[in-house]
Structure 1
Amino acid sequence: MDKIDFKKQLKHLYGPTARMGIHLVDVPAMRLLMVDGHGDPNTVPQYREAVETLYAVAYALKFASKKQLEKDYVVPPLEGLWWSSDMASFLTREKDKWDWTMMIMVPEWIGPAMIDKTIEAVRKKKAPPALDRLRVETLEEGRAAQVLHIGPYDDEGPVLKKLHDEFLPQNGLIRVGKHHEIYLSDPRKVDPSRLRTILRQPVK
């Protein structure tokens, strides 16, 4: 049985290189497992609970797909939408002001019935803490500017400033939607200097 890796299959969305710099992509509508929260992801229990719950359901869906549909895949990377009533807080890194939605993509061949059944199975087996806050939603971003950031999360500020204050105006674009991050590295296993994160901003 072949194992699908979306980072390779959707390389333009999940596999940009540092050499590409800031570039434009067209993002198709995607279904994602989502959990919302607020506050500093390093300190609020909500964040850890959200990520734990997302991975519990995402891996359960992977195993259900492999067993029932004979389609195996690598669980897609963790993603996050980030916003605040004061968007300057992202440049100043005032994380207690941040709102977020953490997400993991669901393959299109897994239907709503299998998702619902799998969530209930996870509830009976593990009951992760944010399961009642979990939802499945389609995200439609369309045209977006994105860039691969290599390094600590707290070093994103200058990259975002260049994206927002230089690239977008120079290309006649304005921001729409929420700041989007895709985490290609596991911060528990990778040195902060080598973390790889896609920074994405929907535009029009």
Structure 2
Amino acid sequence: MTNKTDFKKTLDAYQAQRGRFRVVDVPDMSYLMIDGHGDPNTSPAFAEAVEALYPVAYKLKFASKRDLGRDYVVPPLEGLWWAEDMSAFTAARDKSQWDWTLMLMVPDWIDQAMFGAAVEQAGAKNRPARLDDVRLETLSEGRCVQTLHVGSFDDEADVLAHLHHAVIPDQGFRLAGTHHEIYLSDFRRVAPEKQRTILRQPVTTEPASGA
């Protein structure tokens, strides 16, 4: 019987507590990724991105179990979020201006050959519209500060403001890299006030360029 790895339980990068802002050194991790723009609540591209990621993720999981004897739980959906004017993200919450990359983590033993085979299998029947936009890529974040947010996505703004303007500078860091969210709850099934989301911000102690 194959043991099934649950990365939410085994990786320190997936550990966070509400009200605690923790510094964590995140290792390089491999992800299925797909990019998009616009309000995730209304943009067809967002739904199409989710529909493209999961078939590939499950084909990889089944291939890993069948061919390598290494089974695992498909990790939670994650997202990188930014905007040309970051006030559209942290203050004004103008979601129509948001850019994003949706991601599903895959184990480091998954290679490009397995990925290519999984994409081909996922497109054999009921081919997702954006399947060809899915890629396998390594994300290098390094040192980050993260916390657990419980509640709706629209209630994140105050937590992010505290993280960006108090917690990070008070610890001698500055923002570096892209805001990262990890959706521990399935937002399609869990009430907004009960949703659990890890909020992660890469940081650095290096001075800003030109400083």
CA-based RMSD of the aligned residues comes to 0.9
Q: Distance in 2 between matches of 1:188 and 1:116?
A: 28
Task: State the alpha-carbon separation in 1 of the partners of residues 188 and 30 from structure 2.
Answer: 27
Distance of 2:132 and 2:188 partners within structure 1: 26
Equivalent residue, structure 1, for 2:6: 5
For 2:53 and 2:180, how far apart are their aligned partners in 1?
17
1:170 is matched with which residue?
170
1:200 maps to what in 2? 200
Number of residue pairs aligned between Structure 1 and Structure 2: 202
- The correspondence of residues 36-185 of structure 1 with structure 2, limited to 5 A, is 36-90=35-89, 91-185=91-185
TM-score (norm 2): 0.93
Matches of 1:117 and 1:56 in 2, distance apart?
12
C-alpha deviation, 1:68, in angstroms: 1.2
Task: Please tell me the residue identity of whatever aligns with 2:122.
Answer: V
5 Å matches for 1:17-32? 17-18=17-18, 21-32=20-31
C-alpha separation in 1, matches of 2:122 and 2:62: 12
CA distance in 2, matches of 1:73, 1:126: 25
1:125-184 deviations in whole A, cap 9, x for unaligned? 331111111111110000001010000000000000000010111111111111000000
Could you tell me which runs of 5 or more consecutive residues in structure 1 were left unpaired when the two chains were aligned. Answer: none
- Aligned counterparts of 1:125 and 1:29: Cα–Cα separation in 2: 33
SS of the residue corresponding to residue 18 of structure 1 reads coil
Offset at residue 109 of structure 1 (A): 1.3
- Runs (4+) of structure 1 moved beyond 6 Å? none
Deviations 1:51-100 (A, max 9, x none): 11111111111111111111110001100000001101112210000000
Larger helix share, 1 or 2: 1
TM-score, L = length of structure 1: 0.96
Identity of counterpart residues, as a percentage?
Answer: 56
1-structure distance, mates of 2:25, 2:126:
37
Q: Which runs of 5+ in 2 are unaligned?
A: 205-211
> Residue 118 of structure 2: SS of its match in structure 1?
helix
Q: Give the conservation status (yes or no) of the 8 Å contact 2:16–2:22.
A: no
